[in-house]
Amino acid sequence: MTTRIGVVSLSQGRRPDDLARGLDSLIAQRGVELDIVVVGNAWQPAGLPPGVRSLALPENVGIPAGRNRGAEAVSGEYIFFLDDDASIPSPTFLADAVARIEADPTIGLLQPRVVDPSGVENPRRWIPRIRKGDPVRSSSVFSVWEGATLLPRAVFDAAGGWADPFFYAHEGIELAWRVWDTGHRAFYAGDLVAHHPAIEPTRHSYYYRLNARNRVWLAKRNLPWVLVPFYVGSWTGIQILRWFRRPAALRAWFGGWLAGWRENPGGRRRIKWVTVWRMTRSGRPPLV
């Protein structure tokens, strides 16, 4: 029986050529049945290929919430999220990714290797490991690049979906942690490839503030309280070392840091201590 996959592509309509390229790469997939929806974040999607549905949101609810609205609109045993500026070059990508998960049921989330098709150097941040190593090497991971992610639908639902309040930044860490908390693991498949342009995230004016606010929220929503100050403290030290020569960036970052402590993100669901142990044993305790 052909595997059915619900596919969510989130867009504000600002990259029509990229969106068309990504949708074409989905339509070209072989060996799977797709239920594709383009979610318009404060945009009415138009001119979509036959068989691709649209879901218009009246306002920009942010990236994770927009993905969640799309997830509610599609059906399938699996769910795949593809950014509107990403594409999948192999026509068997989804069939191959599903086969990988079905061959190893411990995998609850799969992120492929990300490559800029123009040939420029790929950012190291696309490899979601502290010790980056060879980008072709596959491994368990504890955060993910969110632009191309595949999950069994049951795992996505058990994990609670993306972090609606985050708007932008670190939602891939929370989803990975919560996948681990379901008893599965997040997995980086270095031999499977998605395409995406190499653009610095700091191009967004809100990057520094949301990066800090969501780092605090991530801890407050997910960690046992005793670990919260250790996790936030370690990342505070890292950012000071990283940006002490950029005082404007650091000021914006600390503005978000303070907001993270003052504001309540809701949605707290503490990961289990056994999950902390599994993550630690696998090489990444949730302390940094």
Tell me the percentage of the chain whose pLDDT exceeds 90: 88
Order of all β-strands in the sheet with 53-57: 53-57, 32-41, 3-11, 78-82, 148-152, 107-115, 185-195, 139-141
Residue ranges of the domains in the chain? 3-199, 206-270
**Whole-number mean pLDDT of the chain?**
95
Residue pLDDT, tens place only, 160-208: 999 999 999 999 999 999 999 999 999 999 999 999 998 776 555 578 8
Q: Using N-to-C axis directions, what is the helix angle for 228-243 and 207-222, rounded to 10°? A: 160
The greatest distance separating any two alpha carbons of the chain, rounded to the nearest whole angstrom, comes to: 57
Out of 113-122, 206-215, 217-226, 246-255, give the one with best mean pLDDT. 217-226
CA distances from 272 to 88, 161, 166, 192, 225 (A): 35, 18, 22, 31, 12
- Listed in sequence order, the residues at least 6 apart from 149 whose beta carbon sits closer than 8 Å to its beta carbon are 80, 81, 109, 110, 111, 172, 175
Q: What is the pLDDT of residue 201?
A: 65
What DSSP state is assigned to residue 225?
Answer: G
With H, G, I as helix, E, B as strand and everything else as coil, classify residue 7.
strand
Among candidate residues 37, 40, 58, 57, the one with its CA nearest the CA of residue 49? 37
Q: What is the pLDDT of residue 75?
A: 98
Lookup: tokens for 250: 């650091």
Residue pLDDT, tens place only, 5-49: 999 999 999 999 999 999 999 999 999 999 999 999 999 999 999
Any alpha helices (H) in the chain, and if so which ranges? 16-27, 63-73, 93-103, 153-159, 171-181, 207-222, 228-243, 247-262, 273-281
Pick the CATH number of 3-199 from 3.40.50.300, 3.90.180.10, 3.10.129.10, 3.90.550.10: 3.90.550.10
Q: What is the pLDDT of residue 199?
A: 78
With H, G, I as helix, E, B as strand and everything else as coil, classify residue 80.
strand
Residue pLDDT, tens place only, 236-264: 999 999 888 888 888 999 999 999 999 99
